[in-house]
Amino acid sequence: MHRPFACLFVLGLASSAGLLFAQGIPQQRGPVIIPKKAPAQQAPVEAPPPSPNAPQKVQKPQFNFAVQVPEVQIPVTVETKNGQFVPNLTIRQFQLFENGVPQKLDKVTVTNDAPMTVVMLVEFRNTWMPFLYNILEASYVFTEQLQPQDWVALVTYDLKPTVVVDFTHNKQAIYSGLNSLTFANFSEADLFDSLSDTIDRMNAIKGHKTLVLIATGLNTFSHMNFDQLRKKLEATQGITIYSVSMGWSLEEWLDENGYSGAAQMDLLQADNEMRYFAQVTGGRYYQPRFEGAYPDVFRNIASAVRSQYTLYYQPTDKKLDGTTRKVKVDLVAPDGKPLILVNQKGKKLKYTLNYRKTYTARHIVQ
């Protein structure tokens, strides 16, 4: 982070000297020729110094700015309908638009079985115990997908976020952290504040990060509102959110225990917000309907994080004005039509592209 500084001083000095000779003059017997004297050269007349009261002409400083437009990186996952990663795609098969303008891709890279840097953000509050068990069970299942090279941290939230386990390679440490969650202090669920705080902590980490949000999506007491959080998510780079909504299991529990439909409306809004968190950051939204669906959900998340393409390009819009740019990525065939994928039997395969739909340009204040 520290850059050395160097100073180079060059001094030049030149001098010259002349020699003076004198000889004795012998007596002359003929005419003496007296050479004509060269006209004396007048010393140059120096201009008088300016008067202190005379107006001075101010020389305006000249500044030259060379602003480098930053390269934009868009992670993209391409999966079949059953969640299988689509390999062997090249730069010629990707087409990218920014605000509707086609962009020239500089390169496309692909990662396979890459390590994850992931934060598990888990809703843990003083609420219905049967439902709380489902959230913890889902967290255990995701932990099973971790590999020794992965970095993972466990954060819970109720009235505020709590770092239960800081980043570690040790899967057993995450299990121990989950086992320690026996009693929550508060019944509030400050999702917006907790999500904002977790993003701030993750921004200090280099590289691409993943946030797995396991929650109902309900927000009860946050100081930050949804519009403020939306703007923050749009400006956030290098973080992908995978939302696992537990609202379905909570809704079923409410139905079984005779709660009114007002709570169901709140859950519907919470699901929409959870879906937005994933879409705006290029992740995916999941709503498992029963406990047996957890393994497939978390295997799909791990596969998407470990295997993905990254598209690099220099925007044609060079303005560094802090505006939000819309991004659209397509797969195209050599003739420019949508790319068609087929399996070994020649049957067409449906596929999905998950990527960040917007990014915020850098803002240079002049």
- pLDDT > 80? residue 266: yes
Q: What is the pTM of this model?
A: 0.74
Distance of alpha carbon 112 from alpha carbon 20, whole angstroms: 87
State the Rg of the chain over Cα. Answer: 36
Asked if pLDDT for residue 188 goes beyond 70, the answer is yes
Q: State percent of the chain over pLDDT 70.
A: 77
Q: How far apart are CA 226 and CA 193, in angstroms?
A: 10
pLDDT in tens, 11-40: 343 333 333 333 344 444 444 444 445 555
Checking if the pLDDT of 65 tops 90, the result is no
Mean pLDDT of 152-168: 95
Q: What is the pLDDT of residue 82?
A: 82
Question: Could you tell me if 214 and 120 are in contact, meaning their C-beta atoms sit under 8 angstroms apart?
Answer: yes
Tokens 């220099």, located at residue? 314
Average confidence score pLDDT of the chain: 81
Domains in the chain, ordered, with CATH?
72-110+309-360 (no CATH), 117-306 (3.40.50.410)
Confidence (pLDDT) at 263:
67
**For the residues of 165-179, what is the DSSP string, one character each?**
EEEES-HHHHHHHHH
Residue among 80, 96, 87, 81 at smallest CA distance from 308:
87
**pLDDT value at residue 57:** 52
The Cα–Cα gap between 68 and 342 comes to 42
Of 12 and 92, which is predicted with more confidence? 92
Q: Is residue 314 left, alpha or beta, with left meaning phi > 0 and alpha meaning psi from -120 to 50?
A: beta
Average pLDDT (199-211) is 92
Residue 211, pLDDT above cutoff 80? yes
Report CA-CA distances (Å) from 150 to 172, 210, 284, 305: 13, 11, 20, 11
41 pLDDT more than 70: no
Q: Which helix (H) or strand (E) holds 267?
A: helix 261-280
